[in-house]
Chains A and B, each alone.
Chain A
Amino acid sequence: MEDLPPYPPIDPTTFDLIVIGTGLPESIIAAATSTASKSVLHLDPNPFYGSHFSSLPLADLQAFLSSHPTSPSSGYHHDFSVFDFATRPLYSSLDISSFSPDLLHQHSRKFNLDVAGPRVFFCADKSIDLILKSGANQYMEFKSIDATFVGDDKGNLWSVPDSRAAIFKDKSLGLLEKNQLMRFFKLVQGHLAGEQGIQIFEEDLQSPFVDFLNKMGLPPKIKSFILYAIAMADYDQEDIGVCRDLLTTKDGIDQLALYNASIGRFPNALGALLYPVYGQGELSQAFCRRAAVKGCLYVLRMSVTALLVDKDTGCYKGVRLASGQDIFSQKLILDPSFMVPLPAGSSLPHPLQDKLPVFSLRDDRGKVARGICITKTSLKPNISNFLVVYPPRSLFPEQVTSIRLLQIGSNLSVCPPDMFVLYISALCKDDDQGKKLLHAVMNTLLTVPVSINSESNAAVQSETAESGCAVLDETAESSFRGRSDPGEGKPTLLWSASYIQELTLGQVDFICSTPMPDGKLNYNDLIDVTCKLFREMYPEEEFFPETSSENSEGDGDVALET
């Protein structure tokens, strides 16, 4: 970064809004604010778009996840109080293991690895609506996820009968189970369509979804399909003690409605789920491009060092850039990794003292464990892009949250040909629990070469990898050959990363901070929060007003590659 020539000073120096970080919420707000004809300066300290929502080449991902917190450097302004920014670590317990460094090094730039994976779009998602409404669809292309499976501790993957045709085709359900499941779907569809005589009672809608499923007499297998692979519940719904997001029937039905509306929304989409070509980072970038078209000014590789606050009123005034330039704006949006530590024993102006602590607010919802694996063979033959859900307790008794795994193949341009990327995530209380969840899945599905011990420090690891290169290659080779071992049909791990990500909520005040990627599979909750953020900031403005002229040609359609 330092080698690059310094930026020329930014002109003008005053904006309606400064946005730091190009994560999805920041990018959406930048696009929405620009669309509302306000001047926006969008900065990112990173040399790429997407921040915590980006898709990165192998090496960049390692660097991004292990980036160290920065501590404030002092600064001064004669008109304002200057508060230095610090960045806080949002990822912990990073483990990276490489079992074939040569091969991967050679292809490093062909990877687009999602930092916040696994993530997919439901065809009927709010995010898809937003993409269409904002015109961001012009910059993206999607493909269908081929299937959804439910996994078990034996390594089996059972396809999820999520539609009439899928129920018909399913081989694992008995005839009676097929009948029960289809009748349940019909009940829900009838209820949603407001058909006469088919209605779910209000008292049922308020009761836990799992109780309703029990009342319908659905067997455990089907209940599990519906709760975790269709309604995508995070926590064990049948253990009130550990369940932190008990779904009501209404929530459950809404999820089913989303799923149902997704199937068949786009004629050439196979199922309910979509994934963007070149990875999820494309989404943030598409909104940035949208914002740029609307006049937003972009500067990458530009960090901010300090917050400028009016000495008298304690009101926000602007930021000091890493280049030393001071830029002023009405409002500020901050990437969640930035914080303003309170100087110990400082004598702050009164108004700010009340407001600053908001930056150190942490989400108490726990953390999310994420894992990325690279393999040379698909987990399931003849199918490359699919989702696997491990419902609570399916891998080990203490597993209280769902683990979701998404395999994406090279046809989505996220990895070199003949390789597959697996994204794994699960909510957890702490790092230990998170790691246990990730390892349980990896051990069930993959063969981990034995010769190498994973290192918790990426820097150390890469050294080891280089020095032990010859040995490792041989091991990797032999482990490929070892695939013929009796009973071992599992793909062999080439590379893996596991890390624990903090969950933070967005914050609205005179300075707003955006949320971190949540533990969900889609972006719906994030979009809700972002939309709310925008409304709080600009109550009088519309969040992407309907346009008729501009995107008429691509109206109502996303580019789907088949």
Chain B
Amino acid sequence: MHGRPRKAPKPEDEAASAAKAQKLRALQTQFFSYHHNKIYTKEAVELSAKLLEINPESYTAWNYRKLAVEHYLSQPKSNSNSAKSILDDELRVVESALRQNFKSYGAWHHRKWVLSKGLSSIDHELILLDKFQKADSRNFHAWNYRRFVAELMNRSKQDELKYTEDMIYTNFSNYSAWHNRSVLLSTLLEKKAEGFLSKESVLPEEFEFIHQAIFTDPDDQSGWFYHLWLLDQTVKADSSLLVSSWPAHGSDVLVLGDRCNNGSAFSPFTTLQSNSGSFPIVLYFNQSVEGVSSSTVTVESGFNNSEDLVWKPLSLSNSQTAQVWVAHLKFPTSELHSSVKVSVGHSKGIISASGSQNSYPSIFSFKVHVQPIERDSSQGSVSESILWRGENFKVYGTQSEESIPIFSFDQLSMRNDHEPMASNWCAEALAKEIECFRELLSLMDCKIGKLTLARSLMVYDAMSFSCANKLVHSEEVLELYSDLMKLDPSHYSYYKDERSLVLLQQVTSSRESLMKHCFQYKDSVSSTICKPICLRLNHLSLSRMGAFEKLLWVQILDLSHNELQSIEGLEAMQLLSCLSLRNNKLRSFTALDPLRKLKLLRVLDISYNQIGEHSIDTTRYLCSSPLSHSVGSEWNNDETVISDVALINHWEAFFIFKELNLKQLDIVGNAIADEKFNSILVKVMPTLKQLDGELLD
């Protein structure tokens, strides 16, 4: 059925098909008249069968037959015998329709419907399936139906697993068979059936099996799909786990009311300025979770009641699952020294994406020092302005060594006793995979092989050296992706994204490498010297941002001169107050969606991007919009906006900016930025003090 070239129709075929269409139209007309008049006579039902035999895709005819069956079954004189014979007739009609087109959705569905009545014998079904699966072993309709029948018959999953094996041995290019195998294995593992107690006992054999396919024919994709699933099963944690947090475990956080504290002994990494009377606590999990609340997360502090905390998911859609959660801890107005202890997952309720209720409990604690607000900062707004100029940034490490507080890198990542040790077999399995694909690549150039090797290496590093936070193979991985970008230009962007993520992992993997990107801001105007540390990840050709779990502490971020098209995930950086996205490839305001979640953001530079250049906004379909259900209500409620025609034309901009409390914005160098647009921005953001370097009144 696959790989057969289509032949151009011959003239006589065309004539035949025209005649067939003529006949079909006549049948259809008659059929519809029966259907509309609810006529279920023998003659009428037979006509529908005739129609379906010619055109099994006629959904209406299938539905008509369902109605007819219901009609007959509801007759007073109907008994189980007559019902059975009615249903058997249906099975025959389906079978002949399937012979006409065995990929007819309607026919397969009708068969399921008939069997669900529970009156028909199902013994014949597997024989029928065998026939169809022999005719086309990849026919996913048949495979779907097979799962349905196997379930109905209570056929053992082990037998079905064996069946996939047989089919794979006949021809291993069988997506459906591999897929069914993954479905069956998942169920067996979940049920902990005999011989399937743990992944450890099952997956190595599966790896062995799939290697045979991959090595025999690396150009065949079906094997790789299964391999990807296996890799995922190997590294995927069922239980959710806290990966990192802000504040980090063991850190000393200084919260300043408004002004900075000169000569303070606190690190610029952990000093936070807040005039809202609260500071965020950010939880970063290894996967999307739901159910983070004051009952699943306990915060013990001397000054706040845990129950009052509201945990919010940081997700762009309005879903209640997210990888990152935030709560704002209120602190008193008086000076305060207190320690805070946060316990996550000690009581059940945090549910992982796979539905697992398990979450590894973690505890982290930090000290918090609050310096009350000094009401002498009327000029604060000016001092907050930032000039993103190179000369204003000094490498942090070059300043006097003594004044640098201990920068404990390990504190940034969340590692404690509760974390399960990366199981040995996972690391071993991965090591084997890596070795395997190195061998394959030594024989031949294989794109998907390179990609798999790159992925495996990254996971392996993350798994084996998690404590040391080392990336032993990052250089090799970067090279693999660079290679792939050349070899496979049609997927260039994907490789570039992956490469960016690896690069970011590399930068954040050690204190030394990260420190090279840490700068202190000091301009000629501002007198304050204790601005927070600025992380500069500029000029790195990044097309995607990542490594957020290690960057939760960042307050000033320079991502200028990269190739970012999206800033997905940036919503995790809750402390961010200044952000430069200058000179990137952002194409629309919808790409800035994550910024809406950054409540502390005050300074934003999106100058010299491509906003407004492209008439089609490809990110619109990925992000929420007024068209999507989730945000529609917000939009409609804002009557003032509706009335303003100019705003309607720039709804995306409005949508992003109305929720931001920006004081400084640079937007010059985008196609959309003109006088008129700027005036709209000023209107939308009353807090704005400076636009494109110009002070506003």
Whether A175 and B215, one on each chain, are in contact in the complex, defined by CB atoms closer than 8 angstroms, is: yes
- The verdict on A168 contacting B436 (CB below 8 Å), with A175-B211, A179-B215, A179-B444 known, is no
A183 at the interface (CB under 8 A from B): yes
Q: Which of B168-176, B324-332, B608-616 contacts A (4 or more CB under 8 A)?
A: B168-176
Interface string of A461-492 (1 = CB under 8 A from B): 00000000000000000000000000000000
A168 touches B216 (CB 8 A): yes
* Residue B212 interfacial (CB < 8 Å): yes
Within 8 A of B (CB), among A158-213: 164-165, 167-169, 175-176, 178-180, 182-183
Q: A168-B212, A168-B213 are in contact. Are A179 and B172 (CB under 8 A)?
A: no
Residue-wise interface mask of A (121-153) relative to B, using a CB-CB cutoff of 8 A (1 in contact, 0 not) = 000000000000000000000000000000000
* CB nearest to B134 among chain A residues: A267
Chain B residues, CB < 8 A from A175:
211-212, 215, 436, 439-440
Measured in the bound complex, the distance between the Cα atoms of B170 and A175 in whole Å is: 19
Question: Which residues in window 578-620 of B have CB below 8 A to A?
Answer: none
Contacts of A183 in B (CB 8 A): 443-444
Do A180 and B170 contact each other (CB < 8 Å), given the known contacts A168-B212, A168-B213, A175-B436? no
Given A165-B170, A165-B171, CB of A178 within 8 Å of CB of B215: yes
Q: Is B268's CB within 8 Å of the partner chain A?
A: no
A161 closest partner in B (C-beta): B216
Residues of A within 8 A of B532 (CB): none
> Are A179 and B170 interface neighbours, CB within 8 A?
no
Inter-chain contacts of B439 with A (CB < 8 A) = 175-176
CB pair B215 A165 closer than 8 Å = no
Q: Is A165 touching B169 in the complex (CB atoms < 8 A)?
A: yes
Say yes or no: B212 contacts A178, CB within 8 Å. Answer: yes
Q: How distant is B506 from chain A, measured CB to nearest CB, in Å?
A: 31
Interface size on A, residues (CB 8 A): 12
Known: A165-B171, A165-B172, A169-B169. A178 touches B216 (CB 8 A): yes
Is B308 in the interface zone, CB < 8 Å from A?
A: no
User: Could you tell me if A176 and B443 are in contact, using CB atoms closer than 8 angstroms?
Assistant: yes
Chain A positions within 8 Å of B215 at CB level? 175-176, 178-179, 182
B:406-452 near A, CB below 8 Å: 436, 439-440, 443-444
Cα A323 to Cα B212 with chains together (Å): 68
**B56 contacts A by Cβ under 8 Å:** no
- The minimal Cβ–Cβ distance linking B536 to chain A, given in whole angstroms, is 46
A175-B211, A182-B216 known; A168+B172 contact, CB < 8 A: yes
| Residues of B in contact, count (CB < 8 Å) | 16
Q: In angstroms, how far is the closest chain B Cβ from the Cβ of A351?
A: 61
Closest to B169 in A: A169
Which residues of chain A are within 8 angstroms of B436 by Cβ–Cβ distance? 175
In the complex, whether B546 has a CB less than 8 A from a CB of chain A is: no
Question: With a CB–CB cut-off of 8 A, which chain A residues contact B216?
Answer: 164, 167-168, 178-179, 182
8 Å CB contact of A180 from B169, B172, B443: B443
Q: Give Cα A169–Cα B170 distance, bound, in whole angstroms.
A: 9
Let me know if A179 and B443 touch, CB within 8 A: yes
Residue of A nearest to B436 (CB): A175
Closest A residue to B211 by CB, please name it.
Answer: A175
Residues of B within 8 A of A179 (CB): 215-216, 218, 440, 443-444
Compute how far the CA of A178 lies from the CA of B220 in the bound complex, rounded to whole angstroms: 14
| Contact yes or no, A182 B217, CB < 8 A | yes
Distance (whole angstroms) from the CB of B447 to the closest CB of chain A: 15
- Nearest chain B CB to A231's CB is how many angstroms away? 21
Residues of A within 8 A of B212 (CB): 168-169, 175, 178
- Which residues, 152 to 195 on B, are CB-close (under 8 Å) to A? 169-172
The 0/1 profile, CB within 8 Å of A marked 1, for residues 201-229 of chain B is: 00000000001110111100000000000
- Cβ–Cβ < 8 Å partners of A165 in chain B: 169-172
Bound together, the chains give a CA A388 to CA B443 distance in angstroms of 31
Name B223's closest neighbour in chain A (CB-CB).
A168
In chain A, what residue has the closest Cβ to B212? A168
CB of B4 to closest CB in A, whole Å: 13
A178 to B172, CA, bound (A): 14
CB distance from B641 to the nearest CB of A (A): 59
Q: In the complex, what residue of chain B is closest to A170 when comparing beta carbons? A: B212
CB neighbours (8 Å) of B170 from chain A are: 165
Instruction: Name the B residues within 8 Å of A164 (CB-CB).
Output: 171-172, 216-217
A contact residues around B440 at 8 Å (CB)? 175-176, 179
Chain B contacts for A167, CB-based, 8 A: 216
A182 to B171 CA separation, bound complex (whole angstroms): 14
Give 1 or 0 for each of B432-474: 1 = CB within 8 Å of chain A CB.
0000100110011000000000000000000000000000000
CB distance from B212 to the nearest CB of A (A): 5
Q: Give the complex CA separation of A169 and B212 in angstroms.
A: 7
Report chain A residues within 8 Å CB of B443. 176, 179-180, 183
Check if A168 sits within 8 Å of B218, measured CB to CB. no
Q: How many angstroms between the C-alpha atoms of A168 and B213 in the bound complex?
A: 6
Of all chain A residues, the one with the shortest Cβ separation from B213 is A168
> What's the least CB distance linking A21 to chain B, in Å?
45
What is the distance, in angstroms, from A141's C-beta to the closest C-beta of chain B?
Answer: 23
Interface string of A249-278 (1 = CB under 8 A from B): 000000000000000000000000000000
Give the residues in chain A near B218, CB-CB below 8 Å.
179
- Min CB gap B158→A, angstroms: 20
> What are the interface flags for B613-656 relative to A under an 8 Å C-beta threshold, 1 for contact and 0 otherwise?
00000000000000000000000000000000000000000000
Once the chains are docked, how many angstroms separate the CA of A176 from the CA of B441? 10
Q: Closest chain A residue to B208 by CB distance?
A: A175
In angstroms, Cα B444 to Cα A164, docked, is 18
Bound form: Cα–Cα A179–B211 in Å = 10
**Complex contacts, B213 vs chain A, CB 8 Å:** 168
| Chain A residues near B171 (CB-CB < 8 A) | 164-165
Pick the most buried of B169, B216, B436: most chain A CB atoms within 10 A of its CB. B216
Docked CA distance A175–B213 (Å): 9
Per the bound structure, the CA–CA distance linking A169 and B169 in Å amounts to 6
Give, as a whole number of angstroms, the nearest-CB distance from A406 to chain B: 25
- 8 Å CB contact of B169 from A168, A176, A178, A182: A168
Cα of A180 to Cα of B444 in the assembled complex, Å: 9
What is the minimal beta-carbon distance from B47 to any residue of chain A, in angstroms? 36
Q: Least Cβ distance of A334 to chain B in Å?
A: 50
Measured in the bound complex, the distance between the Cα atoms of B170 and A168 in whole Å is 10
Contacts of A176 in B (CB 8 A): 215, 439-440, 443
The docked-state distance in angstroms from the alpha carbon of A178 to that of B211 is 10
What separation, in Å, do the CA atoms of A165 and B171 have in the docked complex?
6
Q: A31 CA to B443 CA in the complex, in Å?
A: 54
Which residue, of B172, B217, B440, has the highest number of chain A Cβ atoms within 10 A? Answer: B217
Give the residues from 205 to 260 in chain B that come closer than 8 angstroms, CB to CB, to chain A: 211-213, 215-218
CA distance A180 to B218 in the complex (A): 11
Chain A, Cβ-Cβ closest to B220: A164
The answer for the CA separation of A169 and B171 in the assembled complex, in Å, is 10
A86 to B216: give the CA distance in the assembly, Å: 59
Minimum Cβ distance to chain B for residue A163 (Å): 10
B141 CB to closest chain A CB (Å) equals: 22
* Complex CA distance for A176 and B438, rounded to whole angstroms: 11
How many angstroms from the CA of A168 to the CA of B218 in the assembled complex?
12
Task: A182 to B212: give the CA distance in the assembly, Å.
Answer: 11
Query: Which chain A residues border B211 with CB–CB below 8 Å?
Result: 175
The 4 closest A-B pairs by CB, nearest first: A175-B215, A179-B215, A168-B216, A167-B216
A-B contact pairs, 29 of them (CB 8 A): A164-B172, A164-B216, A164-B217, A165-B170, A165-B171, A167-B216, A168-B169, A168-B217, A169-B169, A169-B212, A175-B211, A175-B212, A175-B215, A175-B436, A175-B439, A175-B440, A176-B215, A176-B440, A176-B443, A179-B216, A179-B218, A179-B440, A179-B443, A179-B444, A180-B443, A182-B216, A182-B217, A183-B443, A183-B444
Q: A168-B169, A175-B212, A182-B217 are in contact. List 19 more A-B contacts (CB 8 A).
A: A164-B171, A164-B217, A165-B170, A165-B171, A165-B172, A167-B216, A168-B213, A168-B216, A168-B217, A175-B436, A176-B215, A176-B439, A176-B443, A178-B212, A178-B216, A179-B216, A179-B218, A180-B443, A182-B215
Residues of A within 8 A of B (CB): 164-165, 167-169, 175-176, 178-180, 182-183
